[in-house]
Structure 1
């Protein structure tokens, strides 16, 4: 359980919201509605004193956001059932997965067909291209910009090309010997060429060169193709989480 708590803490640090407020050891997070992870109550610690549900509901209602709790294997026992009894809907079941850097490198081969570009801080163009590849609304630009600016300083924003064509993007940040992967997206027309594996390999190598021994990522359980790829290259689930939203 100690490892689960550590990974949950590192995952929260690696994806910081614009507004953050402590409630005991929990964290109320809000980021203009962009991503549930940055707009939910982080609960992977002991239960706070007082009426946490009322405090959370007032916090999000004042910001015009839905009330959302992030529930993981490190959350207090009984919390999920209590929120279900209060008619919070369960959504977006995810795996938290980890792997050793050396395991990823040994299970993947370098693909020389691709070329790369790196940015320590993401340009507006990088964010726009990420949003476009994901098929998101351009209105999400501001929210992602705030998250990316607040990520830990040891980070890189990566673009990969096949000849002159943008093929994939990805991000990694390194904290306490762990590299946190995020924003991995491959252009639809380039899928099936090994681009996803190559992005993870290259970002893992960068993280390893910057002090990481382990990697971690979050993935939707229903994304079977991604889960299968991650397991093939050395990742395994360490915990699960989901969200409870009051509609």
Structure 2
């Protein structure tokens, strides 16, 4: 049932393996009708792989579509999904905090009443802090003692993610009494359509999407550090979430080390952005904006209409970038560090 001739000799195939990571439209032979006429099917989506095993395209909905290269009849790259303008999805601080927690899932999670204790070998504060939303099921002094014990058993500092509204009444006062130090973080939101329309065409064309974060991607997003346990935890966290996409801008060197990277996780109407990094020698070329735009377009293709991200209140450079992309602050939450007991 193969198509005759090598793929490069098929005039309607106007793409090649260098287009992996781009949005494409392909037609493939799927069989023959009763009268022996060929049956074709089309699919539009991200070309996530093309090797000797065949092609795989991830469409807007449903699972990946994989097929042998010999069945490829036609194919071409197509523009990014045209995201329609829409208002931000309805949400409150508690809902947004829970959405963000699903989008950056810790390696280890354990309930404490309605709280969630999270640990990931120390990789990022979000994945190594107690999500203190709702009732812990204990008086606050005992709940905080349980938090301290749980993290001490793992060799980690006792951190809590505290949000008002959301965290129990009196928690901030109890933290102050214990001498906890707090670091504010901004939770920022923006309509997705505006993000998807950003970026210069030349920069957008350099961005590639993938379903996995490989060693090259992680080499630029170097938040992990430490030994193998931290590296393993980092991979599990960044790859976790409902629908995760990674973006990269390959370099020109023999190792094609990325010039820019980013991550997006789609969860219903919301798309969470993070891990946006640009190599020092490639900055001020619009690559961060292009990475965000390509990720936003893919998230919109999956049905999201709002984007969110979390940024430390003292990170003025990142805040300025996100201001320019249309992000505004929904609320501020705190990472509270309990003193050692």
Q: Hey, what does 1:137 align to over in structure 2? A: 225
Q: Hey, what does 1:172 align to over in structure 2? A: 264
Q: Hey, what does 1:24 align to over in structure 2? A: 113
Q: Is 1:218–2:310 an aligned residue pair? A: yes
- TM-superposed CA distance for 1:46, in Å, is 3.6
CA distance in 2, matches of 1:137, 1:231: 29
Deviations 1:212-232 (A, max 9, x none): 110000011111121122122
Q: Is 1:62–2:153 an aligned residue pair? A: yes
Q: Is 1:182–2:274 an aligned residue pair? A: yes
Structure 1 pair 2–118 and aligned structure 2 pair: CA distance change class (3 A)? closer
Find the residue that maps to 2:152 and give its secondary structure. helix
Q: Hey, what does 1:75 align to over in structure 2? A: 167
- TM-superposed CA distance for 1:161, in Å, is 3.4
Structure 1 pair 149–2 and aligned structure 2 pair: CA distance change class (3 A)? closer
Find the residue that maps to 2:284 and give its secondary structure. coil
CA distance in 2, matches of 1:156, 1:162: 19
Note if contact 1:115-1:162 (Cα within 8 Å) is conserved in structure 2: no
TM-score of the two chains, using structure 1 as the length reference: 0.89
Counterpart of 2:249 (choices 160, 166, 183) is 160
Note if contact 2:147-2:158 (Cα within 8 Å) is conserved in structure 1: yes
Note if contact 2:196-2:292 (Cα within 8 Å) is conserved in structure 1: no
CA distance in 1, matches of 2:283, 2:240: 31
Find the residue that maps to 1:112 and give its secondary structure. helix
Note if contact 2:220-2:260 (Cα within 8 Å) is conserved in structure 1: no
CA distance in 1, matches of 2:300, 2:283: 26
- TM-superposed CA distance for 1:57, in Å, is 1.3
Note if contact 2:185-2:332 (Cα within 8 Å) is conserved in structure 1: yes
Q: Mapping of 1:231-242 within 5 angstroms?
A: 231-242=323-334
Q: Mapping of 1:185-204 within 5 angstroms?
A: 185-204=277-296
More helix by share: 1
- TM-superposed CA distance for 1:10, in Å, is 0.3
CA distance in 2, matches of 1:208, 1:197: 16
- TM-superposed CA distance for 1:70, in Å, is 0.9
- TM-superposed CA distance for 1:2, in Å, is 5.2
Q: Is 1:87–2:179 an aligned residue pair? A: yes
Q: Which runs of no fewer than 5 residues in structure 2 stay unpaired?
A: 1-89
Structure 1 pair 25–94 and aligned structure 2 pair: CA distance change class (3 A)? same
Q: Is 1:244–2:336 an aligned residue pair? A: yes
Find the residue that maps to 2:201 and give its secondary structure. coil
- TM-superposed CA distance for 1:17, in Å, is 0.8
CA distance in 1, matches of 2:301, 2:156: 40
Note if contact 2:260-2:291 (Cα within 8 Å) is conserved in structure 1: yes
Find the residue that maps to 1:217 and give its secondary structure. strand
Counterpart of 1:6 (choices 95, 99, 110) is 95
CA distance in 1, matches of 2:137, 2:292: 37
Q: Is 1:96–2:184 an aligned residue pair? A: no
More displaced 10-residue stretch of structure 1: 171-180 or 158-167 = 158-167
Which one has the largest radius of gyration? 2
Q: Which structure exhibits the higher relative contact order, with contacts defined as CA atoms closer than 8 Å and separated by 6 or more residues?
A: 1
Q: Which runs of no fewer than 5 residues in structure 1 stay unpaired?
A: none
